[in-house]
Amino acid sequence: MWTDPQAFEKSVDEYFETATIPTWTGLALHLGFSSRDGLSYYHKEKPDFLHPIKKALARIESNYEQNLFTRNPAGAIFALKNFGWKDKQEVDQKTEGKLEVTVKYAKRDNNTSGTSSESGQGNS
């Protein structure tokens, strides 16, 4: 379909000048692909087209990032997950100070069937 990377890049720039809300699928359709799969193919298999495609993806991603600061960023969050962003929770667990552990041994008393709760020190 496309053989000239410069003409391709010019068409990509035209898309961003005219698109109200730039999207990956919108760009693919503007470039004449029937779906975004065609654009993905060029991204993976046509090294001469890699730079303008990566630049276009960065522009689209930037648009979604800016939408994070609107009143309802849910759509932008969802879209950014398709760009590899992740929800991440970090838990920082620290133990400060001394950790003391007391271990008590039970000693069997031969005269009874129960146990004694002596600390294991002294008479044995």
Q: Global pTM?
A: 0.64
In a domain, 121, yes or no: no
In a domain, 120, yes or no: no
In a domain, 103, yes or no: no
Domain that includes residue 14, residue range:
5-81
In a domain, 106, yes or no: no
In a domain, 12, yes or no: yes
Contact 53/39 with Cβ under 8 angstroms? yes
Cα separation, 73 vs 87, in Å, equals: 14
Total number of domains constituting the chain: 1
In order along its 124 residues, the chain shows pLDDT tens digits of 899 999 999 999 999 999 999 999 999 999 999 999 999 999 999 999 999 999 999 999 999 999 889 888 988 888 888 888 887 777 767 767 776 777 777 676 666 555 444 444 555 4
In a domain, 123, yes or no: no
